[in-house]
Amino acid sequence: MSRISSSLGKDLIGLEPLSAEQIRGILDTAEPFKEISERRIKKVPVLRGKTIVNLFMEPSTRTRISFEFAEKRLSADTVNISASGSSVVKGETLVDTARNLEAMRIDMVVIRHGASGAARFLAERIPSNVINAGDGSHEHPTQALLDLLTIRDHRKRIEGLRVCIVGDILHSRVARSNIFGLLKLGAQVGVCGPRTLVPAGIEALGVERFRRIEEAIEWADVLNVLRLQLERMRTGYVPSLREYNRVFGVTTPRLERAPRDILVLHPGPMNRGVEIDSDVADGPQSVILQQVTNGVAVRMAVLYLLAGGAPERAEAAKTGGLG
């Protein structure tokens, strides 16, 4: 099956291979799509006739549901597959699963998988567009894109901002995608976390490392707080969750000592009282639920662009389809 060439290429596997122009193109395309979710009837014919499979081999609330809303609001036909409900539990390989889906004439696959590289592996083996919804500790590009859009909404720019990613950097695909995206758009990026959860030599990516949360808060305009990924930790990376909160937790008393008004993001799911206190998560500096709202628009933009849409035609496409 031949594919329409898009401004993003065939697939979205990560932000590392994208240019600043491509990333800005996605964010700009998301802008007109935001309005669709505010309508009484949240549906436009942009992807009418396209079939999209959401293949989620790891648990997800936000990403899976957000992709499904994005697809439905663009009028695509969607099918959801989870590991437990598929023949993967009988030993079928990822490629065999995907080839059987292809045999039913699908157009796109959105994949979440526990193995780093799974999205690229699939993209190289099937002609359908593949979108990475998070693969192991590699990348989670649409999460970083919605983070970028949310920061841009609130600070009107990305370039020159100081954004510090706090917490479990080692296991985090969100951290990697954010670092690539933020640096390409001209932000200064910091990371802060315990020695055991920050990869050695991370400065080589072009980021600044903070060993104390107080220093990070003094430096930053934006904090992106990550959860401790307990399910990926085989040994004791932190003495206890209570100790982690005491030393690295983002708390109101710490934010009150900041020299400027800091924007607080968290990709979710949150461990309240561990990496972030509830009064911060629900407080005036938090934009956590706006991230979730922006996630739908960003995913609509990615689906539209991969289907052959152009950023400059996104507004018109809302009434007339892909054109």
Task: Enumerate binding residues for ligand CP (CB under 6 A).
Answer: 60-63, 134, 140, 143, 267-269
Min CB(266)–ligand CP separation in Å: 9
Q: Provide the 8-state DSSP code for 142.
A: H
Structure tokens at 77: 């036909």
Q: How far is the CB of 246 from ligand CP (least distance, A)?
A: 25
Q: How far is the CB of 309 from ligand CP (least distance, A)?
A: 24
Q: Which of 63, 188 has the CB closer to ligand CP?
A: 63
C-beta closer to ligand CP: residue 144 or 217 = 144
Task: Give the span between the Cα atoms of 179 and 159, in whole angstroms.
Answer: 13
Rounded Cα distance between 32 and 45, Å, is 14
**DSSP β-ladder status, 77-82 and 51-56:** parallel
Closest CA to 149 of 222, 64, 228: 222
Shortest Cβ 239–ligand CP spacing (Å): 26
**What length is written for the chain?**
323
- Supply the minimum distance, in Å, between the C-beta of residue 4 and ligand CP: 28
Contacts of 132 (CB under 8 A, 6+ apart): 11, 12, 13, 14, 111, 119, 120, 138, 139, 140, 141, 142
Nearer to ligand CP, 63 or 245 (CB): 63
Choose between 30 and 46: whose C-beta lies nearer to ligand CP: 30
Residue number, 45 or 268, with CB nearest to ligand CP: 268
